[in-house]
Amino acid sequence: MSLIERVQKISSTLTGTENRLVAELMQAPREIALGTSAEFAARIGAHEATTSRLARKLGFASYAAFRDALRAEFLSTGSPSHRVTQTLSGMQEKGYLPQLIADEIAALSRLSDYVQDAQILEAARMLNRERVFLFARGNAEALAVLMDRRLRRMGLATVLLRGDPRDLAEQLLTLGPADAVMLFAFRRQPRDYARIVDLARQRGAASLAVSGSLGPALSPTPDQLLAAPRMGGRDGFQTLGVPMAICNALVLALAAERGAPALDLLEKLGALIGYFED
């Protein structure tokens, strides 16, 4: 059982302090795997005993056993080169493109088992706000840029959250109850995810996260979560096909939610594109 699966299994029983430990663990599993229980507890200002209690809740006999499992899961398989190598080893006989297509189709065919249309409609209503703030790190930034453009084309004001903590503070300064925050998180919980969701809650803004298998372990939990496994195994190369399908469904549902005004703007956009391309 992976760490994420263990967290999912006990998520409803975690205390506030344990939830903070889990959030820290999702952000920096490799660092915690290399450190001591005291160092783990110190990351959130908790007593060392809380880390041992969390380890036992997760099904480990001791903190040492928990740390060994962390090392096996994140230190031996965490590098990008390892993930690509693992995937290549299974593709060379079948062919790269045929195998990639087959794996992507399999992942997409399971998508509706994890995300239902009612959730897409609810998420679209949530995004139909005064402004939408978008947050992603790493490869997921491509999805944030995609959504930024698609939302602007329908007349929504957007803020793409980028940069260091000071930049984030400036960009989120005017976040309020008329706004929504859309976040992306896949292999691990991004740094600043927890702070952004907490801030949204404090300010009365809605929060929506698009994620993979990590989704149920995100802490704090967003107001709305759209999570489905991506193509490829945990130890292999994974694509953005599944979360991109979720984003495209959201865009279409949002266009229906906004109705004629959104379609009118798209019509005007087409005319403006023609104007500038002449």
Give per-residue pLDDT as tens, 12-29: 899 999 999 988 887 778
pLDDT over threshold 60, residue 196: yes
Integer Cα distance of 5 and 53 in angstroms: 18
Tokens 């506030």 belong to which residue?
16
Looking at residue 18, its pLDDT comes to 92
Measure the CA–CA gap between 273 and 268, rounded to whole angstroms: 9
Name which residue leads in pLDDT, 253 or 73. Answer: 253
Q: What is the mean pLDDT of residues 209-213?
A: 92
pLDDT at residue 166, as a whole number: 94
Percent of the chain with pLDDT over 70: 90
- Say if CB 46 and CB 22 are below 8 A apart: no
Q: 54 and 250 in contact (C-beta within 8 Å)? A: no
Query: Is the pLDDT confidence value at 35 over 70?
Result: yes
pLDDT attached to residue 76: 52
Higher pLDDT, 62 or 6: 62
Cα angle 50, 54, 26 (rounded to 5 degrees) comes to: 105
Domain architecture of the chain: domains with CATH: 3-75 (1.10.10.10), 118-277 (3.40.50.10490)
Check pLDDT > 90 for residue 147: yes
Whole-number Å distance between alpha carbons of 272 and 145: 21
Q: Which parts of the chain fold into alpha helices (H)?
A: 3-10, 16-27, 29-34, 37-42, 48-57, 63-70, 80-91, 96-109, 111-114, 117-127, 141-153, 165-171, 193-203, 241-258, 260-277
Q: Which range has the worst mean pLDDT, 4-8, 98-102, 154-158?
A: 4-8
pLDDT at 74 over 90: no
pLDDT at 84 (0 to 100)? 56
Tokens matching residue 151: 């939302």
| Residue 274: both structure tokens together | 């023609």
Comparing 78 with 4, the larger pLDDT belongs to 4
Helix axes 48-57, 63-70, angle to 10 degrees: 70
- The predicted pLDDT at position 103 comes to 86
What secondary structure letter does DSSP report for 173?
A: T
Contacts of residue 89, Cβ cutoff 8 Å, sequence gap at least 6: none
Average pLDDT over residues 30-47: 90
Is the pLDDT score of 89 beyond 70?
no
Percent of the chain whose predicted confidence (pLDDT) is above 90: 55
Tell me the mean pLDDT in the region 223-241: 83
Give the per-residue pLDDT at 71. Answer: 81
- The residue assigned the tokens 């001791």 is 62
Cα 1 to Cα 59, 233, 273, distances in angstroms: 10, 14, 52
Nearest-5° angle of CA 246, CA 252, CA 257? 120
Residues 6+ apart with CB under 8 A from 251: 147, 150, 151, 154
Q: Across the strands, what pairs with 144? A: none
Contact partners, residue 178, CB within 8 Å, separation at least 6: 129, 130, 131, 205
What does the pLDDT look like over 92-129, one tens digit per residue? Answer: 666 778 888 888 999 899 999 889 999 999 999 999 99
What pLDDT, on the 0 to 100 scale, is given for residue 261? 83
Average confidence score pLDDT of the chain: 88
The predicted model scores a pTM of: 0.74
Residue with more model confidence, 225 or 266: 225
Q: Is the pLDDT of residue 209 over 60?
A: yes
208-229: burial string, b at 16+ Cβ within 10 Å, e else: bbbbbbbbbbbbbebbbbbbbb
- Is the pLDDT confidence value at 254 over 80? yes
Q: How far is CA 5 from CA 58, 123, 193, 234, in A?
A: 10, 25, 20, 12
Q: What is the pLDDT of residue 81?
A: 55
